[in-house]
Amino acid sequence: MTFDPKDCGTCPIRHRAVCARCEADELETLDGIKFYRSFEAGQPVIWSGDNMDFVASVVTGVASLSQAMEDGRTQMVGLLLPSDFLGRPGREAATYDVVAVSNLTLCCFRRKPFEKIMLQTPHIGQRLLEMTLDELDAAREWMLILGRKTAREKIASLLTILARREASLALQTAESGTSFELPLTREAMADYLGLTLETVSRQMSALKREGIVLLEGKRKVIIPDFDALMAETGDDADGGMVS
């Protein structure tokens, strides 16, 4: 449960180019209230309705936010990768179920002190606004996927989103085919896309059969021709996608 503080180098609320003036104070103050928590794949981080006395930033691993209906239907509504922010300043209770999709490390800040620091350091609020607006754009892209795309387009869209996000993290751009770790089970993919796991499996098999994606082991996805995958998403050829 102990980590090198530099692990939190990804912490996005610190990434500010401007105003070196208060930068030092800010880091210092945030450092004073931060602590790390780790979760194993599959473990719950918090349940909807629980008291949530911290906010956090993902250091490593993947977490999901999801909403469940009482009959068991589940929809994932957020997928948090390293540098993503979890929690809402000013809110007492968690609004969603948060689960560690893979092994997960969070850099947490106790909520009350964090809110106080936010008032003193406009930067943090500004940065948080940026991030929230980006998340909102991503949510809206996701709404198009859920509402209007076919199962095949949904799968292709998810794969391009994951490929892009992992690529931007590990700034290895694709030259001879992109590849990335698929951290999601079939069921998690289904919950992301509003499908059943059987349909996800069938469409993955179809894409594999057609050579649009290759699977290595069960986790590694290889995309020999990214444009060919893009063509299956239903989006414009150019970068019509947000984020």
Partner DNA sequence: GTTGCGCTTTGACCCAGATCAAAATGCGTG
Partner DNA sequence: CACGCATTTTGATCTGGGTCAAAGCGCAAC
Confirm or reject binding of residue 127 to DNA (CB under 7 A): no
Confirm or reject binding of residue 34 to DNA (CB under 7 A): no
Dihedral pair phi/psi, residue 15, rounded to 5°: -75, 90
Residues in the site for a second copy, rule: CB under 8 A? 65, 67, 69-71, 73-75, 77-78, 88, 90, 95-96, 122, 125-126, 128-130, 132-133, 135-137, 139-144, 146-148, 193-194, 234-236, 242
Give strand ranges (E) for 21-129: 34-39, 44-46, 54-60, 63-68, 74-80, 85-86, 97-100, 104-110
Find tokens 């691993």 and name the residue. 61
Which distant-in-sequence residues (6+ apart) come within 8 Å of 164 by Cβ? none
H/E element, 180:
strand 178-181
CA-wise closest residue to 170 among 8, 21, 10, 7: 10
42 binds, among DNA, a second copy, none (CB under 5 to 8 A by kind): DNA
Closer CB to DNA, residue 7 or residue 198? 198
Report in angstroms how near the CB of residue 151 gets to DNA at its nearest: 4
Closer CB to DNA, residue 165 or residue 202? 202
Closer CB to a second copy, residue 140 or residue 219? 140
Report in angstroms how near the CB of residue 197 gets to DNA at its nearest: 6
Closer CB to a second copy, residue 217 or residue 239? 239
Q: Which of residues 137-166 bind DNA (CB under 7 A)?
A: 150-152
Cα R_g (the chain), whole angstroms? 19
